[in-house]
Every structure is written in C-alpha cells, then in structure tokens.
Amino acid sequence: MTTATSTAAPTEREESLSPSESVLTSVYESATRLAIDAEVVDLLKTSWREIRAQLPVRMDDRKLRIFEGYRVQHNGARGPYKGGVRFHPKADLDEVRALAMLMTYKCALMELPFGGAKGGVMCDPSRMSETELNRLTRTYTQHINMILGINRDIPAPDMGTNAQTMAWMMDAYGQLHGHTPGIVTGKPVELGGSYGRDQATGRGVATCMREFARGEGVDPHDIRVVVQGYGNVGSWTCRVASEQGFRVIAVGDVKGGVYNPAGIDIAQLDRWFAVAGSVAGFEEAEPVTNEHLLELECDYLVPAALGEVVTTANAEQVRARAVIEAANHPVTPGADAILARRGVPVLPDILVNAGGVTVSYFEWTQNIQQFRWPLERVITELEARMVAAFGDLMVRTGRDGIRPRQAAFDIALERVARAIKLRGFV
C-alpha cells in the first residue's frame, strides 16, 4: 500500500490558498497521519463531477442577464450527493468546490448515508426581486436537473437561499420528472419539509457550545458569546444558546454590530430585527463594527456568516477563549495555525454546523416514508447525533493529541476512504 506524500500541517503563512486548497490542507494532514492510500487521496483532491451552467434570466426591467451557476459533486462513495445551494456574489466554482468537499466530510463525520455536493449561483439575491429569484432558481434547476435525483443528488438551502427557493426547485424538478418532494430538503413544512429544519443548524451550534462548556466544567451563564451573522444560522444560534443560559454579548450582520457586555435580550433583538432588517441600531446595546466584533474579549467567538473571516491579518487579535465555527470555513489555515499556537481551540465547521444536513437527512427519510415526525422527535434525534459526534471527536482529540479540526477530518476521512475501498473505486 502506498501512502499519501502530500503533507503539511497548516503554517501561519498560507494565505494565498484558494478555498479548495485550504480544505485540502486538512485532508492531506489527516491522510498523512492515517497513512491513507495515495490513490484514494488522489481521488479526493478533485470532484467527481462539476457542472458550470449559463443561466439567462429576463429581469423585471426586461433586460437579459446571464448568471453563472454550478453544481459540484465531490464524492459519492457513502451515498447520494448532498449539499446546499448558495446564491452569493462570491459563489464561484472553486468556492463551491471547497464547500462540496466539506459536505463529504461533514456527512461522514455525522454518519449520514450521503456523499458531498454543493451548488451555487453568482448573484446578489438582496438586489433581486422575488420574481427574478423565482425565474433564476427555475432556470438553475432546469440546467442541473439531469444530475439530481432522490437517490443521486439532493440540494438544500445555504447562504442566500431558503425554504422558498427549495419550493421553486422542487416545483421546477417536478415539472420535468413528476412530483418528487424528496428531491430537495429544507422545503416549507406545507410542501413536505421537516419540522425543525429552519432552526437545525443553529440548534446544532448551540448543542456543541453546551457540550464544550460541559467539558470545560463552566456553566453557560458564565460564558460570554459573540456571534457574527444574524441570518438563519446566527439568529437560531443566539436564540437556542440564550435559552440554554449563554450570555450573548455581541451580534453583527452586514450592516453593523451591537455590543452589550451585560448580555443582549435576544427576543428584543428579534423584534428590532423584524422592523429594521438588521441588528444594527438596536438601542439596548452599543454599536460595534464587524472587524471590532471579531476582536472583542469574550469566551466563545462564533463566526456564523461568510467564510475566511478569521485570517492571518486578525487571528492575533482574537480575544476569545475558543472559536466555534458555525459558518463553513470561517478560519483560514494560516489563522488556524496562529490560534493553535496561542492555545485557542477551534471547534470545526464540519461538526459545528452539521445540524442542518442532519435534519435534512431526517427530512429526506420522512419524505421517502411519506411520514412526518413531530418537532420533539426531530430535536431529540438531532441532539443525540450532535452529542455523539461531539463525543467521538473529543475522544479522538484527546487520544491522539491533535486539534479538534484534525480529529474531525481523521474520523471522516477514514470513513470515506473505507467506503471508496469497499466499492472498489480504487
């Protein structure tokens, strides 16, 4: 058996890596430690399939705009491809490829019977009307429909998309193939979505925080949390974490942040957000910029929005005791190395934000069985899976004396590599 020769734990200089190269630094590090067959690593370096599609859309002003859309299927050894669809100006092919890779390892870490995929359309949904988004989503679905399938590839929401987007995707797919609710997850409940899917990612983040605090022997009431992002993931993290007793002291979104060292009342913040469309301007707290937010003194820093926000430029200034990665890939490899040197643990994205795809899995199974679980069951089963995965990861971290991210990749890569071998791919 040959072993992987590409090595390298991240160094503090690695800032020029593309998103997929960044993810691969973790894969290579685990592959070297675990002596994974070099042919298996070769297979995982690239994607199984990548579609780049031209998406012409007639805008409300009657002008034609041509968007670019992607669907990347990274690896399907463990089951049908699974992963969200991102609508964002920065969702280029390499970003989507990196996110598809993360899905392969996230599903493996959570023991979900899925491979990894991701989709994206380079667009700014905040500047598009509902009818434009509807047309774009349908065009995108038509252009990738041939590689989707309930046992082939199942999309879900991600940044810039939501339950409504999934309803349009389901409908566009259904027009070609017949009514197929299980073709997407994260649908509206009225169309076969699962109870609890909207809160699943944030609830999973809060569960990881609670388990981490328990491991540290600290009561959540004594833990100050800073959350960057108040979209689906950030807002639900704040809601569930504050229910669990954590003190959320600062929250930020694209328009700005707010800080109150005594703790922010999340129910009040939600009422403000419903009117203002942003956390910025909330009067029960002081304003703070997004850059400063990441550098506030706190216990847990939770980046819950874009990727690559903690970099070599600001990692020295992070004054949190731990970083909890609610977003996908928010800490660059160079920043990861700096935080490791400074003794700041980073709980990795492929565990922390896995609650979303876990409840997507529940939704898919409910659709296949044409049966619906009550919310309590969704929450109980999600909790059980998050706690189990967290426990496995911590045992591995302690046993091998490695960082949590590496333990997560070790566990996941072992499972993916085993499935590749068993199927006879290499």
360 binds ligand GLU (CB under 6 A): yes
Closer Cβ to ligand GLU, 299 or 363, answer by number: 363
Closer Cβ to ligand GLU, 26 or 360, answer by number: 360
Evaluate whether 336 touches 359 at the Cβ level (below 8 Å).
Answer: no
Closer Cβ to ligand GLU, 141 or 328, answer by number: 328
328 binds ligand GLU (CB under 6 A): yes
| Catalytic residue (one of 82, 106, 118, 187) | 118
Closer Cβ to ligand GLU, 116 or 257, answer by number: 116
185 binds ligand GLU (CB under 6 A): yes
Nearest distance, CB of residue 296 and ligand GLU, angstroms: 26
Near ligand GLU by CB under 6 A: residue from 57, 144, 156, 416 = 156
Give every strand in the sheet of 49-58, ordered side by side: 49-58, 64-75, 115-121, 81-87, 153-157
**What single-letter amino acid sits at 297?**
E
Nearest distance, CB of residue 55 and ligand GLU, angstroms: 20
Near ligand GLU by CB under 6 A: residue from 71, 74, 82, 143 = 82
Evaluate whether 123 touches 67 at the Cβ level (below 8 Å).
Answer: yes
237 binds ligand GLU (CB under 6 A): no
Q: Which two tokens stand for residue 29?
A: 């590090």
367 binds ligand GLU (CB under 6 A): no
357 binds ligand GLU (CB under 6 A): yes
97 binds ligand GLU (CB under 6 A): no
329 binds ligand GLU (CB under 6 A): no
Is 118 a known active-site residue? yes
The window from 9-17, 329-337, 349-357, 400-408 that contacts ligand GLU (CB under 6 A) reads 349-357
The Cα angle at residue 241 between residues 291 and 197, in degrees rounded to 5: 100
Near ligand GLU by CB under 6 A: residue from 10, 84, 120, 181 = 84
Q: Going by DSSP bridges, is the β-strand pair 115-121/64-75 parallel, antiparallel, or unpaired? A: antiparallel
Contact set for ligand GLU, span 268-327 (CB under 6 A): none
Which of helix, strand or coil describes residue 86? Answer: strand
**What single-letter amino acid sits at 168?**
W
Spatial separation of the C-alpha atoms in residues 409 and 26, rounded to whole Å: 7
Which residues, in sequence order, are bridge partners of residue 353? none
Which residues, in sequence order, are bridge partners of residue 71? 51, 119
CA-nearest of 30, 228, 353, 20 to 6 is 30
List, as own/partner pairs, every contact residues 57-65 make where C-beta atoms lie below 8 angstroms and the sequence separation is at least 24, other chains included: 57/132, 57/135, 57/136, 57/139, 58/135, 59/132, 60/129, 60/131, 60/132
The window from 290-298, 354-362, 375-383, 401-409 that contacts ligand GLU (CB under 6 A) reads 354-362
Closer Cβ to ligand GLU, 336 or 349, answer by number: 349
List, as own/partner pairs, every contact residues 378-383 make where C-beta atoms lie below 8 angstroms and the sequence separation is at least 24, other chains included: 378/194, 378/195, 378/196, 378/197, 378/200, 379/196, 379/203, 382/196, 382/200, 382/203, 382/204, 382/207, 382/355, 382/358, 383/203, 383/207
389 binds ligand GLU (CB under 6 A): no
The window from 5-13, 171-179, 222-230, 353-361 that contacts ligand GLU (CB under 6 A) reads 353-361
Catalytic amino acids? 118
Which residues in this chain contact ligand GLU in the complex, by CB under 6 A?
82-84, 106, 156, 158, 185-186, 328, 353, 356-357, 360
